[in-house]
Chain A
């Protein structure tokens, strides 16, 4: 066995760290302590990063949001950074933008993911596998690449979807990319890049449905559509909940796409289109870190609440799994 060469007795000339060998009591207790420490030794680098880049930034933001008066003038109250952020006229419109985006994006995502996964599962094979890969590949395009591609796709003069714009009566990019369309455009980009991973997951869950159940239903004369609707869908419904909840958390955080649209020269896209952008704007344009921190803390709390509920109240991720 490979391990033999690492036999502690050969190398250190003492009893092993397990204390399994008969040795003086003092050495055994040192060994026990060492064994007790082992898991923490493996964990510590990760825990340090969790503390420094997960927990501390949030605590520091809370602290800043409650105490920082940079750019506020003196004598502000404890929650003044929060009221400043929340009463900002842009906060309302940013919230509306995000709400509109999520309302367009989430239902479309759910329907598309489930329809695609059910259609693929209906006849697994080479065609289904190829399709699944095709749906997942756009996930490689993020940020600048996805916005860039869709700026072209939404320009009727170069787009391969020209016919869609003709049907809609839009002939010029300035008619397509307009302020009322931004939420839809951001939703299209998110669906283009983000659906594939969910399709893979739901498809994977579908293949886990016991065959016997499907065979029994088919023997009873159940057609494909009813099989999908009455047998398969109830088995995977919980994934819809997971997708909605997790996507909602991500949706409230939207920053990249509207920011790149703005910097791509779509000057009519507000630089404070989303709440994260507004928070960024406060830090960078006004230097008011307190307000920026307050907005980030509020956004973070939404995500944290969702994450805690998903982890503790649903059975998706097995944290308590004891073996």
Chain B
């Protein structure tokens, strides 16, 4: 296959311009496909509006007051002062509970991502670098666990946590999220493709200890992998709603996802001018949604090339 994509290097794919975009072919193609070109651009822009307008609206909404939201053009800009007001209202509502949720989110995310990273990297390394009895069984179990939607396990894990009397504790959220089979599989694929076994075997012949090989050869190579697994685990945990809403019953221990959903209550259908929590109206909600999405969007925009490559590797492409 002519399209090989390296993990580390830039996209090695030769820039495919479309076979008929050179010389005579180009002219012919343009003549034949003027209507097609228009249809293509129109369809792509329609998709761009569907995916982009909600994001744009979300960013602009807190610049307006609750009243202005209904009276001004949907994509107009109000003033920076309104962001400040919305920010103030959001962070002071219910005795500053938004900050508490933010802190809880950070704690849950940090702890479970750390666990997921250690488990995934070690497991992927073992699966890629050793032949041992049971290896295929573990790989298949990992794949099945990875493909089974995580939602399928939430209620069974809830019943388990109830058995162990861990409900409404941070453990009930952090520990189950530390189990991240996609990370283990991604690590396995990564080590299989980017760490030649000959190097490891050579080091072994030279008498290096196993852990030394792991620490001084595998780990330094695995930096992009750490970022990749870390990001996917981070997104999953930051956006974790189902597990947290089932396990946690005290509002003071909610994460931001679940906390925000309680702020939504009644804001849309009852009477949009009567706030449920003091000071929480539509601009505050929009700002909350924006802050909820922001960390993921920011990280994504910075490392999207890596992410896309990792996503593809997970599905055996590239």
Q: Of A17, A145, A174, which contacts B289 at CB under 8 A?
A: A145
Task: Indicate the size class of the contact surface on chain B.
Answer: 35 or more
Query: Which residues of B in the span 93-124 have a Cβ within 8 Å of any Cβ on A?
Result: 115, 118-120, 122-123
Q: Which of A72-80, A96-104, A306-314 participates in binding chain B? A: A306-314
Residue of B at shortest CB range from A216? B19
Residue of A at shortest CB range from B299? A140
A30 beta carbon closer than 8 Å to chain B: no
| Chain A interface SS verdict (over half) | helix
Q: Of A64, A149, A322, which contacts B159 at CB under 8 A?
A: A64
Cross-chain contact A250 with B151 (CB below 8 angstroms): yes
Bound together, the chains give a CA A225 to CA B3 distance in angstroms of 23
Cross-chain contact B292 with A144 (CB below 8 angstroms): yes
B27 beta carbon closer than 8 Å to chain A: no
| Chain B interface SS verdict (over half) | helix
A322 contact set on B, CB distance < 8 A: 131
A205 contact set on B, CB distance < 8 A: 317
B203 beta carbon closer than 8 Å to chain A: yes
A18 beta carbon closer than 8 Å to chain B: yes
Bound together, the chains give a CA A312 to CA B143 distance in angstroms of 10
Residue of B at shortest CB range from A317? B143
A179 contact set on B, CB distance < 8 A: none
Number of A interface residues in the complex (CB < 8 A): 137
Bound together, the chains give a CA A158 to CA B67 distance in angstroms of 10
B308 contact set on A, CB distance < 8 A: 132, 136, 200, 204
B residues near A, CB below 8 A?
1-3, 13-21, 25, 29, 32-33, 36, 40, 43-44, 47-48, 50-58, 61, 69-70, 74-75, 115, 118-120, 122-123, 125-127, 129-132, 135-136, 138-145, 147-149, 151-160, 162-163, 175-176, 178-179, 181, 184-185, 192, 197, 203-210, 212-214, 216-217, 235, 239, 241-242, 245-246, 257-258, 260-262, 264-270, 282, 285-286, 288-289, 292-293, 296-297, 300-301, 304, 308, 311-312, 315-318
**Smallest CB-CB A-B distances: 9 pairs:** A6-B212, A46-B123, A57-B156, A42-B126, A39-B130, A142-B239, A140-B296, A143-B241, A253-B151
